[in-house]
Chains A and B, each alone.
Chain A
Amino acid sequence: MLTDRQPRSFLDPQVLARLSAVPLLARRPMVGSVSGRHASPHRGSSVEFAEYRKYVPGDDLRRLDWRAFGRSDRHYVKEYEADTNLRLCLVLDTSGSMNFGPGAMTKIDFARRICGALSYLASQQGDAVGISCVADGIVRTLPPRRSPAHLRLVFDLLDEVRPAGPTRLPEVLHEFAETIRQRAVVVIVSDLFADPAALASAFSHLRFRRHDVAAFHLLDPQEIAFQFQRPTRFLDMEGGAAIFADPIDISDRYHRAVEAYLADMKKIVLESAVDYHRVLTDEPYEQAVARFLVGRAAGRGLR
């Protein structure tokens, strides 16, 4: 149900239609305000049996299990799982490095598509969606809301945001962990160009706050391949000092540095239980989102 009729460059209705087939699920129980399709830590009135509990005065007599009383001559109350909605908090990296993309699509364009698709899917299933644009701090933020009108604000923000400035992602994530009051699905869309150790600390902080953390790690193929033929002056897109280097000389060590960084990231996300998705920006974003959704659907039932 689209309440926004304005065409958005980052939304493709066909892709959204295909993605709608897979629900967006949380890997952890969520504490929502209304009934939804996500597991809650509390007992509720769903059809899914949870446990027997001894009757205590004050319990609703309608929930007494008379068959159990007949078998054991004791009063038991039959409890069921509760289903609730979730809060989807999108963290979009808008630092200068996200503007990189010598090909058809920059990393920020790719991130817009992911965020747009996830916002739409969450809103469709009645979940609250919020977004925070971060660079060297939280640049702009929209708190999670369930209303369709709020979705338009999210899309507007995605439209308007422009990458600039340096990255202070670990610090921003720490701040973020402290400011979100309830459990949420925190989806980070970034190139994660930060110290892996600092990122590990931030991820652990979010996990400690019982958030379900997912990360889309966006990388451009050129950043991986590093194929240049001539001496090159590399201008830092985040405003740092330029570096002059002969790529022929430096490429092997560049690749070693990339490899070490990716290995560190892999280790960190495993330790921090982050739902980590490494994505090259030359692949269809639909695949990345679908992989994300399917992975979560396969893990449904965890509470």
Chain B
Amino acid sequence: MTFLQPWVLFALPLVGLPLIIHLINQRRFQTVPWAAMMFLLSARALSRGYSQLRHWLIMLLRMLAVAAVILAVGRPLARGWLALAGGGRPDSAIVVLDRSPSMQARDPAGGESKLDTGRRQLVESLRTLGPGRVMLATDAGRGPVEVPSPEAITELATAGPVAAATDLPGLLQSAYEFIRENGAGTTEIWICSDQRANDWRPDDGAWGGIRDAFAKLPQQVRFQLLSFPAPAVGNVGVRVGGVRLETVGRDRQLVVTVSVSRLEEGPRLTLPLTFEISGVTSAVDIELSGREAVLKNHVIPLERTAATPGFGTVSIPADADPADNEFFFAYDEPAPRRSLVLADDPAARRVLELVAGIAPEKDAVATVDVLAAGGLAAAAWGDAAVLLWQAALPEGPAADTVRAFVDRGGQVIFFPPDVPTSAAFAGVSWGAWTTHAAAVAPESWRTDQDLLANTLAGGALPLGELEVKRSCAVAGDAVPLASLPGAATLVARSSEVEGVTFCATTPAPRDSSLASEGIVLYALVQRAIDRGRSVLGAGRQLDAGSAAVAVAQANPAWTRIAGPTAGGSTEAGLHAGVFRAGDRLFAVNRPLAEDVAAAVGDDRVDGLFRGLGFSRISGRAGAADSIVQETWRAFLIAMLLALIGEGLLSLPRQTVAAVTPAGFRQAEAAA
């Protein structure tokens, strides 16, 4: 139970007042000589148990009445139906809002979204609690921002829904830093979220640090989670897996791969997919029977004169979560398949030239520029998609050049040099070579994502058929994508810099069968080329979030040309839509994880706050009740009821008329 005036509770010992008065009254007895003792003895013998019970009930009700008055004066608060937390009025409250697309799910009746319900309930709660300061944390980078009043939480654009995932650990870290730096007193951190795994990232190592940091704070910090874990019933999301512009003869067409998915299996659905490109609408049905259905390579003819770059949307009918019913895409003329190869070993260089130079499409042209170690500056970095590097890791100006290439979206695959150096790139360096007594095959590799993922048809790449005779150790902060027996890394990507991949062996025949079993190397390189090309065209897909924010900030002329108008310039990159920056188009959409992430279990969430003051209130989208309410009226009613009960029990028993003196005389007269 929380009280707005907790100091009043010091008066609770007054509950014993009726008992003390009773005891004093017992001592103030009178002594009377009495003749009719036989009636007194009979009276004491008659139903003494009930009399005692009544007596104690009266005492209890009096004590309850006093307690109810004291508690009512203390202005008690009830949180949720049963979730009661300790403490009084906090000095400050930090509201951490999960604004991710899944929070826009509405209740089945089509009322408020989870985010709107949460914000409204938070405003009502904060208005009741009346903390000294109210802070709103929606951006981990900026930290909590003070708002003038709780009502601002529903009014501010920065508290509205976005298309990006929420970095809950980051927001809590920023809240911690704010408390530490500002020396805030008693603080309540209100988290409003639907507990989606991609927002909470329960496996993130940062949680341990956050927990320890809050536990060490001298101030009292309480966490209140207003949780909406229930999934949106019957919700289906639409997503464009790929889009490319093709020219067939003199005609042009758009080839789009679209998927529809839902979190839980449900009845078979036929969904109309509506495409809108340059004001022209077309529709196609898609059958959804399991969790996901994919419409592959759907061809949409374009006018011959259609301008590039262009953009479009694909949408499905409205359902429980409107945030995933529309997906934006941008397209442009296909970017050139230009690759840069720098290899010390001629055998390796030849293989790399081949795998990079053969385009997967029939009529496509792939260009490979072979670089010399000293000719980096002269290379055509601007339209290259991938850099294949089989040499000592770059240092100095060369490293800067490669880093700039990576930063603008280019992909790099490093192969080990014959003589590894101590140089490091993106936090990774080469170790020593290991020559295997017998050729070994990769033991495990990531089939769900990244460069070695399964094919679109679902088949795995034949990594198990590779033979690795020699491998070089990968040292540093890298995420393994394929491993050899003994936990040695075969393929890894840098965890510091996106787009940097390390392959621990070379395609030279003396080192591995990457060349002879060319499928794996071809897929690896071509996928890297595709990734690199995706940032080269004038039409580019971006996930809302930090990547899109970086792009938006790098392009001052970031202008929305399609999609719902929401958010200010400070939140560019967080909202879905199609944006123009110069002559380039960017389609920003929710990240893939938003469509597949399930809710983190309550036990898991409790574990994240282990050792901290934490309580969870389960909410429901569209719920009309408030989560924090002053309940002093209930206590006053309880007091009244207690007093009425006490009065009824204290009423003298109905006196038998015949034994009053008057009744006695009447009876005698009648006789």
Binding site for B on A (CB under 8 A): 96-100, 107, 191, 193, 219-221, 223-226, 228, 230-238, 240, 243-245, 248-262, 278, 280, 282-283
Contacts and interface: CB of A to CB of B under 8 A. Distances in A.
B32 A235 contact: yes
A98 B39 CA distance: 16
Contact of B35 (A223, A228, A250, A278): A223
Contact of B656 (A98, A245, A255, A283): A255
Given A237-B37, A238-B35, A252-B655, 9 more contacts: A99-B35, A100-B35, A231-B30, A234-B32, A244-B29, A255-B655, A257-B46, A258-B36, A258-B659
Contacts of A282: 661
Nearest to A107: B35
B47 interface: yes
A193 B654 contact: no
B33 A248 contact: no
Contacts of A233: 29-32
B28 A231 contact: yes
Nearest to A193: B38
A231 B23 CA distance: 11
B44 A250 contact: yes
B35 A237 contact: yes
Most chain B C-beta atoms within 10 Å of own C-beta, residue among A97, A98, A245, A257: A257
B280 interface: no
A243 B656 contact: no
B449 interface: no
Interface in B14-69: 25-26, 28-44, 46-47, 51, 54-55
Contact of A232 (B29, B36, B660, B664): B29
Interface string B634-671: 00000000000000001011111011110011001000
Contacts of A230: 25, 28-30
B655 A235 contact: no
Contacts of B46: 253, 256-257
B658 A259 contact: yes
Contacts of B34: 100, 234-237, 243
A8 to B, nearest CB: 25
A235 B31 contact: yes
Interface residues of B, number: 37
Interface of B: 25-26, 28-44, 46-47, 51, 54-55, 650, 652-656, 658-661, 664-665, 668
Contact of B29 (A191, A219, A231, A278): A231
24 contacts: A97-B35, A98-B35, A100-B35, A100-B36, A193-B35, A193-B36, A221-B661, A223-B35, A225-B661, A228-B30, A230-B25, A231-B25, A233-B29, A234-B40, A235-B32, A237-B33, A243-B44, A248-B650, A251-B652, A251-B655, A253-B43, A254-B43, A259-B659, A278-B668
Contact of A236 (B37, B44, B652): B37
Given A233-B30, A253-B47, A224 B664 contact: yes
Contacts of B656: 255-256, 258-259
A230 B51 CA distance: 17
Most chain B C-beta atoms within 10 Å of own C-beta, residue among A96, A224, A225, A231: A224
A238 B653 CA distance: 29
A170 B659 CA distance: 24
Nearest to A277: B668
B651 to A, nearest CB: 10
B653 to A, nearest CB: 3
A219 B659 CA distance: 11
A191 B34 CA distance: 13
B80 to A, nearest CB: 44
A280 B40 contact: no
A165 to B, nearest CB: 13
Contacts of B661: 221, 224-225, 280, 282
Contacts of A96: 35
Given A225-B661, A233-B32, A249 B55 contact: yes
Most chain A C-beta atoms within 10 Å of own C-beta, residue among B29, B39, B46: B39
Given A100-B33, A220-B35, A233-B29, A250 B659 contact: no
A191 B37 CA distance: 12
A268 B39 CA distance: 18
A238 B40 CA distance: 14
Contacts of B665: 280, 283
Given A224-B664, A258-B659, A250 B51 contact: yes
A261 B39 contact: yes
Contact of A97 (B30, B31, B36): B36
